[in-house]
Amino acid sequence: MRGRLSALVMILGGVAFLFGAADAMSAESPLIDGEGVQIVNAQCGVCHSLALVAQNRADRAGWRALIRWMQDKHGLWPLGEFEAPILDYLETHYAPAAVGRRRPLAPALMPELSTGEKR
């Protein structure tokens, strides 16, 4: 897999970027485990942090639009046979939740109701 990715990177002229990509590939991913996660790690992690994937939420059409935007503007290659399993994975694990006009404060910002000082 790494050889294949290295070839891709070089085709794109990103030789200087090879080491970063290799680092990202050989280490643990922040993405939720599930069917297709390795394809997402391999294809998406070449250029950018996988944390960028993990912090976003979209439906299938939204993820597809993001892929098209990266292909139009940022040199992403055609994903071919990988596109469908990537979209399957993303719409399963990173779908938007309906939150309405304003969501509650994040759990990390809430008081603990136990006794004593929180921090």
Q: Which residues sit at the interface with another protein, rule CB under 8 A?
A: 9, 12-17, 19-20, 23-30, 45, 47-52, 55-59, 62, 66, 69, 73-76, 96, 98-103, 105-106, 108-113, 116-119
Give the C-alpha distances (Å, rounded to integers) separating 62 from 36, 57, 106, 111, 118: 18, 9, 25, 35, 40
As measured in angstroms, the least distance from the Cβ of 73 to another protein is 7
Return the number of the residue (51 or 84) whose C-beta is nearest another protein: 51
Tokens describing residue 61: 């059409």
Measured distance CA(7)–CA(9) in Å, rounded: 5
Please say which residue, 78 or 106, places its beta carbon nearer to another protein. 106
- DSSP symbol at 24: H
CB of 75 to another protein, least distance (A): 4
DSSP 45: T
Question: Smaller CB distance to another protein: residue 18 or 88?
Answer: 18
